[in-house]
């Protein structure tokens, strides 16, 4: 009897511990694809699976209109992969490099890549892009996967996580990563430092277009200045939906 109770307890614990996460299939407005999310937290359910595509229609339209076979898309600040996976599904002939520094979110980024069967197309990298390449501390705003506003090199936060800070240019030179033809950057306040680390990349004619989340009155002007100095022009982006002082700035290589 004792061995039976032990067996049943073990099976019960096994079921509890190995319980599969909720899977949410997100439809993408205006696109004939569905992206599946493995959901463990409220952030992943509300902000990512249900909020990504309706909250940033400009990002969806940009990927739909710009991606072509052979493209290399860098998703800087990928979180759990909403736009990395969407890009892979919209254009199976493109390659995607997804950068996410926060380890719990990075683990679920990989989980979503596998869930959507795009592991041969999407290459995840656990690093935070910056203006220097060195071991750094990541100031974590919230320990749950799918959260945001973590700062490479920051000191505030509920905890500190070790992370590799890297210049995008160094990743290409040191590790042979292919330079992007399209680039999305959304890293919650550190966009100036990240763009500083992309200077050589910005000068490359192969980089055609970028969407960069900027903050009015703080990072917007410096980011725009660096992009214009590299031969980009800021384009109208009527679909962007500002959140407070932040908005998505769209840049295209000047003709």
pTM for the structure as a whole: 0.91
Mean pLDDT, contiguous 10-residue spans, the chain (255 residues): 69 72 90 93 85 92 98 97 98 98 95 98 98 95 89 86 96 97 94 97 98 95 98 95 91 93
Given the structure tokens 């359910």, which residue do they identify? 45
Provide the token pair at 168: 């995008």
Distances (CA, A) of 81 to 1, 114, 179, 239, 254: 49, 11, 19, 21, 29
Long-range contacts of 176-180 (CB under 8 A, 24+ apart): 177/97, 178/72, 178/95, 178/97, 179/72, 179/204, 179/206, 179/207, 180/72, 180/73, 180/74, 180/97, 180/207
Per-residue model confidence (pLDDT) at position 244: 86
Q: In what order do the strands lie in the sheet with 134-140?
A: 128-129, 159-166, 134-140, 151-152
Per-residue model confidence (pLDDT) at position 4: 67
C-beta separation of 78 from 84 below 8 A: yes
As assigned by CATH, the class of the 20-253 domain is: alpha beta
Q: 51, exposed or middle or buried, with CB in 10 Å at 0-12, 13-18, 19+? A: middle
- Bridge partners of 137, per DSSP, are 162
């Amino acid at each position: 009897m004792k061995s039976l109770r032990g067996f049943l307890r073990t099976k019960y614990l096994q079921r509890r511990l190995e319980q599969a996460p909720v899977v949410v299939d997100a439809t993408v407005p205006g696109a004939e694809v569905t992206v599946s999310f493995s959901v463990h937290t409220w952030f992943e359910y509300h902000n990512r699976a249900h909020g990504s595509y309706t909250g940033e229609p400009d990002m969806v339209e940009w990927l739909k209109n710009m991606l072509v076979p052979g493209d290399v898309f860098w998703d800087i600040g990928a979180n759990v992969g909403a736009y990395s996976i969407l890009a892979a599904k919209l254009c199976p002939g493109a390659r995607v490099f997804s950068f996410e520094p926060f380890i719990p979110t990075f683990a679920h980024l990989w989980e979503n890549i596998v869930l959507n069967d795009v592991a041969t197309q999407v290459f995840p990298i656990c690093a935070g892009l910056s203006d220097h390449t060195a071991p750094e501390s990541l100031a974590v705003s919230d320990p749950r996967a799918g959260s945001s506003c973590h700062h490479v090199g920051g000191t505030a936060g509920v905890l500190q996580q070790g992370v590799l800070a890297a210049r995008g240019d160094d990743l290409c030179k040191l590790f042979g990563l292919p330079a992007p033809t399209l680039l999305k950057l959304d890293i919650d306040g550190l966009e100036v430092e990240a763009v500083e680390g992309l200077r050589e990349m910005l000068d490359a004619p192969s980089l055609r277009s970028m969407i960069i989340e900027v903050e009015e009155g703080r990072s917007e002007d410096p980011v725009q200045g660096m992009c214009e100095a590299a031969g980009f022009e800021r384009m109208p982006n009527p679909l962007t939906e500002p959140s407070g002082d932040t908005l998505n700035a769209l840049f295209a290589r000047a003709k």
